[in-house]
Amino acid sequence: MSDTALHCLAQRAGIAVHWRDFRGQPQEVSAQTLRGVLTALELPCVTPGQIAESWRSLENEARSVPPPLVTAVSGQPIALPQISSGGALAVTLETGERLDLRPDASDALPPIAQPGYHRLHVGKDEITLAVVPASAYGVEDLAPSRRLWGLSAQLYGLRRSGDGGIGDFTALTELVQRTAAAGAAALAISPVHAWFAADVGRYSPYSPSSRLFLNSLHADPAALAGASAARAAAYALHLSEELARFEALPLIDWPAAATARLRLQRELYRRHAAASAEELRAFRRERGPALEDHARFEALHAHQLAHRGRWHWREWPAPLRDPGSAAVHEFARAHRDEVDFHIYLQWLAERGLAGAQQAAREVGMRIGLIADLAVGTDRGGSHAWSRQQDLLSGLSVGAPPDDLNLQGQSWGLTTFSPRALRLHGYAPFLEMLLAALRHAGGLRIDHVLGLNRLWLVPEGASATEGAYLQYPLQDLLRLIALESHRHRAVIIGEDLGTVPDGLRERLSASGVLGMRVLWFQREHGLFVEPTRWPRGAMATTTTHDLPTVAGWWQERDIDWRLKIGELSADHASGQRSDRARDREALLRAFRHAGLPAGADPDAVVDSAVRFVARTSSALAIVPLEDIAGVAEQPNLPGTVDQHPNWRRRLPQAVEPLLASKPAMRRLTSLREERGG
């Protein structure tokens, strides 16, 4: 069979048959990969007949009238795809006001000034008309002509007395208050998406069970009943000494510390949840069926894993794979207390996160918390089970080979099907977006390139055997802009990696701040001076996937990759030579900016922080690791067990860490350069 028909179908489905790699070299996706991706998109393509039928399915979808949701920009004519009325159309605004609008010769409606989700009436059909601001809510809306600054924190790594070995929302609230006192406008945090309560050995914040709910391990067990009640419960469970030991460790012992925390939370639930029964009922009503599904999944997952050894929900008996089945309802009824416990955990976690953002507002932080939205969810998780019609099956999100990962990456995650997004009026995307913005003044979108295209790898294939799938970028950016204004939240897009031509410009035009990292801001081998960094970006010294300033200076990243066998001795030697030249280039950049250029690691961190603070970017964020001068980075991409990813705790509790002389110097430089 000729590959021509297969290529045409793939392109019609939004799959890039041809693409350019990070070196600019043209690549062609294999027929095997195309079939794997098309099959996962529910477009059979093995035989000519199947290809023809799949083509007809796509054509019918494109001609379907009306689409469930249409986006438009406030004050601009409204294009109506596949809609022809022949007369005036009625629009009911969110306010209840009714407009009668007549399409022009090109079937475009006159502009609507008022942003919102309006209702467009086409015959007997009703379309959601999302009219959005021209760009997302931004720093200029919060503080015109100001350059704001903040810190970023790996939430799990925060320390406080009595935390039991895991950073929590109580420590986050304390950090909010301390950073606000130093003049910060924002505090960016690692993702707080829900993990697997039944498998606490899975602890990457970027591989969650669901992006609709929270990681209950960040809920302070004492937040409801108080510290004395928590100590009494820990004593009754013989956990006191164990919790104190976890608290003193430099690395989180996730399986042990998380198991202990869940035991303590369960005991406090048993003793004290009844006193908050009315609040819990209200929370349950407000979050609705989605919360019930998540709690049921947690109970089912624990039961299937403990009694049958079945981890992935696709291994469960067929009736239990359907969230709406009678079998699932019967299980929930028979295990009501377990389901109720997981609803309680979500309530406790949300109270903690909401309290931290409320504290940020009360102490005057202009932005407050900046949440982090992971690029996808685990294929065996709650979100994939409860939203099977919305998410891709049989594919893993990843990235093609690049300078940092020559073998490419396959993350074992799933995400939304672009076909499902369009057919369901973007409801799945909006549900996730609203969950992320519920208690935040900003949102960092991990791998924002995925709004335009995603590298998807068929199950069982290597990361190099993937393909790019196109996503409806314009609609997604418009919905983000609308929700950012409704929540008064700034949006940051992690635009690192292989960036398609023109994408950064489109993100900037939509009001999404890009990310500019010190290590990558170079031209012709020289570091770009602060005044030339773009205004429409978030400037930072580093990210969780890159070396800290002290670590970069001391070559800790090279040390680690040599240690785990990722680099040969010769390659490591070559990288050390490159790093020596880079260090000298950085010192030259410091001198050019009028900053101290000493070779002592502590002095280098000081100058790097002030260098980034001095940039023209609207927002500067410095990780706590650099404020503290820590040498080790939170995550080493491409590793699992070889490096202690997502386990490092900060060397001190929040208060003494920020009160140390090095931290005070760096906070002062941020405040002096940017105000506070």
* CATH hierarchy code of domain 154-184+186-349: 3.20.20.80
**The pLDDT of residue 149:** 98
Q: Which helix (H) or strand (E) holds 119?
A: strand 116-122
Q: What is the DSSP letter of 375?
A: S
All residues at 6 or more sequence positions from 668 whose CB lies less than 8 Å from its CB, including other chains:
none
Q: What is the number of other CB atoms lying within 10 angstroms of the CB of residue 310? A: 18
**The pLDDT of residue 85:** 60
pLDDT at 404 over 90: no
**The pLDDT of residue 639:** 87
Spatial separation of the C-alpha atoms in residues 648 and 644, rounded to whole Å: 7
- Percent of the chain with pLDDT strictly greater than 70: 99
- Percent of the chain with pLDDT strictly greater than 90: 89
Question: Domain 69-132, CATH 2.60.40.1220 — does that match?
Answer: yes
**The pLDDT of residue 65:** 66
What confidence category does residue 86 fall into, taking pLDDT thresholds of 50, 70 and 90?
A: low
Q: Which helix (H) or strand (E) holds 577?
A: helix 569-592
pTM of the model: 0.96
Q: Where are the domains of the chain?
A: 3-63, 69-132, 154-184+186-349
What confidence category does residue 676 fall into, taking pLDDT thresholds of 50, 70 and 90?
A: confident
Summarised one tens digit per residue, pLDDT across range 636-674 is 988 888 999 999 999 999 999 999 999 999 999 999 999
Summarised one tens digit per residue, pLDDT across range 96-111 is 999 999 888 888 899 9
pLDDT at 1 over 60: no
Write the CA distances from 450 to 167, 192, 337, 445, integer angstroms. Answer: 29, 20, 39, 9
Q: What is the DSSP letter of 448?
A: G
For the segment 192-204, the average pLDDT, to the nearest whole number, is 97
Spatial separation of the C-alpha atoms in residues 148 and 145, rounded to whole Å: 10
Write down the mean pLDDT value for the chain: 95
**The pLDDT of residue 638:** 82
**The pLDDT of residue 401:** 86
All residues at 6 or more sequence positions from 392 whose CB lies less than 8 Å from its CB, including other chains:
40, 41, 414, 415, 416, 417, 456
**The pLDDT of residue 84:** 63
**The pLDDT of residue 402:** 80
What confidence category does residue 171 fall into, taking pLDDT thresholds of 50, 70 and 90?
A: very high
Query: Of 405, 402, 537, 392, whose CA–CA distance to 469 is shortest?
Result: 392
Summarised one tens digit per residue, pLDDT across range 519-567 is 999 999 999 999 999 999 999 999 999 999 999 999 999 999 999 998 9
**The pLDDT of residue 184:** 98
pLDDT at 344 over 70: yes
What confidence category does residue 2 fall into, taking pLDDT thresholds of 50, 70 and 90?
A: low
Q: How far is CA 338 from its chain centroid?
A: 29
- The SS3 assignment for 480 reads helix
